[in-house]
Structure 1
Amino acid sequence: MNKEQDFDAIIIGGGACGLMCAVQAGYLGKKVLILEKNDKVGAKILISGGGRCNFANLYATEANFISQNPHFCKSAFSQFTVQDTISFFETYGINGQEKTLGQLFPETNNAKDIVRVFEDLCYEMGQEIICGAEVKQITQCANGGFDISYEKNAKLKTLSAAKVVVTSGGLPIPKMGATDFGIRIAKQFGLKVIPTAPALVPLTITGKDAEWYAQLSGNSIFCRVSNTRISFEENILFTHWGLSGPAILQISSYWRPGEHIEIDLLPNDKIKDLIEAGRAVNGRKTLGGMLAEIYTKKFADALAKFLPVTKNLASLTKAELNEIERMIHFFIVKPAGDKGYDKAEVMRGGIDTDELSSKSLESKKIPGLFFGGECVDVTGWLGGYNFQWAWSSGYIMAQHL
């Protein structure tokens, strides 16, 4: 085992947070090294948004994040704002284009351009990156600082640094090398961890209703999806195994096993009003005919399982109208589970924010040890929010290296 040169800090994980930290440290004249387990940096950046990378959200605030301490990320967002993110990327030729709900994508629609900015800056600043490097151990030295042992090409090496930044991500998408490394290191040093779970993840339906959902696979409907904690208005997508789409991914972060969710299948209208209007124009039209004008024909036909679709609008009884209203505006779903970390976009839970300084993300117990990005108990909504947390947390850690 040979010991290599010293650095001001070693960053474990070359994702969004680690890359931003390295660049910001470079601006301050600090020498850092990124150790990345994969064969290239920015793996999750490259696949995000279907390869287009929704790198920020115009409206990101602490209200768009889940944490045991919902105010914790305020400090990071005040130190490195959404506008700072936009300005940073514009400086290097990446202009944001708003697609929907404040979501910003590069005008080129190419996530590779985002990664290239960081690779180029690290090269220009002399920040080192070692890919294919799997960290095996972090040891706190008696005289301060840390030794980091890593394996590359079946050889074990050890590096030293005064400070260590853990930005190794969370558990989602294990096929891309995701592990619980950050959680394990936190526990090794005696830090508390909030139980983790998949978030922004599709939900599964099993049992007697499974076939009904499966037959609708591919159908997308604009809905309001709610539970006792929150509601979202976006599209849901029926799949062979249950439900997905933006609204479902959003609510999944707030869903717990055993709970149900409520779906308003027509959030911007009242079905009873539409029926009354339809009766006035043509009372002989069937309910199914009217529903086919609102939804896809396939979805309208599927509602025949629950509603009297063959009846004329004029002949619907009060009881039937109430049942139609209940089905359309208060459609109850009780998911069997979720699709797990393989399909989750992020992880809920992580290193307890009480263990970290909100100003610097440095461990309160272990000076010189920092945690940022997804491994911390700060989980954003769908739509660029988690990238904003990555950029902001990377920035503030760099200021204290």
Structure 2
Amino acid sequence: MATNLIKQTDFDAIIIGGGACGLMTAVQAGFLGKRTLILEKNDKVGAKILISGGGRCNYTNLYSSAQQFISANEHFCKSAFAQWTVDDTISFFETYGIEGQEKTLGQLFPTTNKARDVVEVFTGLCRDLGQEIKCDVTVKNIDKSGDDFIVTYEIGEKEYQLQTPKVVIASGGLPIQKIGATDFGLRMARKFDLNLTETAPALVPLTITGKDQPWYEQLSGSSIFCRVWNDRISFEENILFTHWGLSGPAILQISSYWRPGEFIYIDLLPNENIADLIQQEKEANGKKMLLAYLASLYTRKFAEALSDKLPVEKNLASLTKTDLENISALIHEFKVKPAGDKGYDKAEVMRGGVSTDELSSKTLEVKKVPGLYYGGECVDVTGWLGGYNFQWAWACGFVIAQSL
């Protein structure tokens, strides 16, 4: 493949990746009178924005703070969040025509419920500010050349090289390959001898295999509000039974804190005490069968699934103290040992990435490679489900742009 001669650009920076972080970096740089070039692998920018929130894009979370993020350095993201707040995100989008509406647990969606409106804010601003976007580009390499960088990329069958003073790697993490995810950011980190925090799928469904799988399979499609916890954290949201295991918001959340071989625990009736409820019902109608009573709390399908674990053939009046203890243990401390997770193609985000020790928390510049920046999902900062990772991406874009 023929390579065009290295061309010195007049861009202040080249941004690798046209996702949330890359787009925000370009726009914020434009506000400061700096010119950037976005190189995007897909045929259009904002692929992950477009599929987020079921195509509606939960673009921030009202409760976002450092507490909702996982990192080897729990304090690292505080500087970026101090520079670009949730209020800044809300104000930014309102300025460009997107009003927010709060949904579950602080998630903010456009009132139009259209993720493409979020992307169009950025593409419109890039156009107005003279920021250039090239799509269908595969970036192959980044080399250091004196104080500058040489970025090698392909468009079709042609290879190009551009010389630039600064490079921003905002190429995302390993999820989701079908929308263009690659390991480019991690490969470049290794090339520049940067330490990586171990990566793994996060916000991902968990699998159940072996003798327990048929039990979950029979409940496929059933959704129940629960509290899910381990020794690190707990979440109260819905879980979803599937033919291969467990999904739903609470499971996705706990997955980021789960490690292979560990148990998770599920309270199938949070904020209630099943033994007290049964006692109350027994006083009113002791002849009611346990199966019928459970079906009044859950669905008939779920109650019947519990038949091999609980004495559902008994009426409430005949339940012994041991029966009640077993019922309470199962309902309030349902124990699950996942076999694994569904991997990067089903994960919302990647956990781990470029070690925060390698970056300035104030600018996100690589300490030992001046002019090179990392932002967004490439970095070892992973948010909860519900708009938190977008808030991190916007904050990264703002912070990096100030330093370009």
Structure 2: stretches of 5+ with no match in the other structure: none
1:400 aligns with 2:403: yes
- The separation in 2 between residues aligned to 1:297 and 1:29, in whole angstroms, is 63
Matches within 5 A, 1:137-176: 137-142=141-146, 144-176=147-179
Superposed displacement of residue 268, structure 1: 1.4
User: Which of 23, 30, 35 is the equivalent residue of 1:26?
Assistant: 30
- The separation in 1 between residues aligned to 2:363 and 2:108, in whole angstroms, is 26
Name the counterpart of 1:321: 324
1:364 aligns with 2:364: no
Superposed displacement of residue 84, structure 1: 0.1
Corresponding residue SS for 1:11: strand
Code of the aligned partner of 1:152 = I
Matches within 5 A, 1:1-400: 1-4=4-7, 5-142=9-146, 144-400=147-403
The TM-score, its normalising length taken from structure 2, stands at 0.98
- The separation in 2 between residues aligned to 1:288 and 1:71, in whole angstroms, is 49
- The separation in 1 between residues aligned to 2:240 and 2:205, in whole angstroms, is 9
- The separation in 2 between residues aligned to 1:271 and 1:207, in whole angstroms, is 29
List, as ranges, runs of 4+ consecutive aligned residues in structure 1 with deviation greater than 2 Å. Answer: 2-6
- Report % sequence identity: 70
Superposed displacement of residue 177, structure 1: 1.2
CA contact (8 A) 1:6 1:159 kept: no
Code of the aligned partner of 1:23 = V
Corresponding residue SS for 2:10: strand
Code of the aligned partner of 1:138 = I
Corresponding residue SS for 2:105: coil
Show CA shifts across 1:43-88 (max 9, x none).
Answer: 0000001100010000000000000001100000000000000000
Show CA shifts across 1:83-134 (max 9, x none).
Answer: 0000000000000100110000000000000000000000001100000111
Corresponding residue SS for 2:75: coil
- The separation in 2 between residues aligned to 1:283 and 1:57, in whole angstroms, is 47
Show CA shifts across 1:316-359 (max 9, x none).
Answer: 00111100000000100000000000100000000000000000
- The separation in 2 between residues aligned to 1:58 and 1:336, in whole angstroms, is 34
CA contact (8 A) 1:22 1:32 kept: yes
CA contact (8 A) 1:7 1:160 kept: no
- The separation in 2 between residues aligned to 1:183 and 1:194, in whole angstroms, is 10
- The separation in 2 between residues aligned to 1:260 and 1:58, in whole angstroms, is 31
Structure 1: stretches of 5+ with no match in the other structure: none
Corresponding residue SS for 1:7: coil
Corresponding residue SS for 2:11: strand
Corresponding residue SS for 1:170: coil
Corresponding residue SS for 2:310: coil
Superposed displacement of residue 152, structure 1: 0.2
Corresponding residue SS for 1:17: helix
- The separation in 1 between residues aligned to 2:389 and 2:148, in whole angstroms, is 30
- The separation in 2 between residues aligned to 1:2 and 1:128, in whole angstroms, is 21
CA contact (8 A) 1:223 1:264 kept: yes
Superposed displacement of residue 289, structure 1: 0.8
Give the length in aligned residue pairs.
400
- The separation in 2 between residues aligned to 1:136 and 1:275, in whole angstroms, is 64
- The separation in 2 between residues aligned to 1:160 and 1:55, in whole angstroms, is 34
- The separation in 1 between residues aligned to 2:282 and 2:123, in whole angstroms, is 64
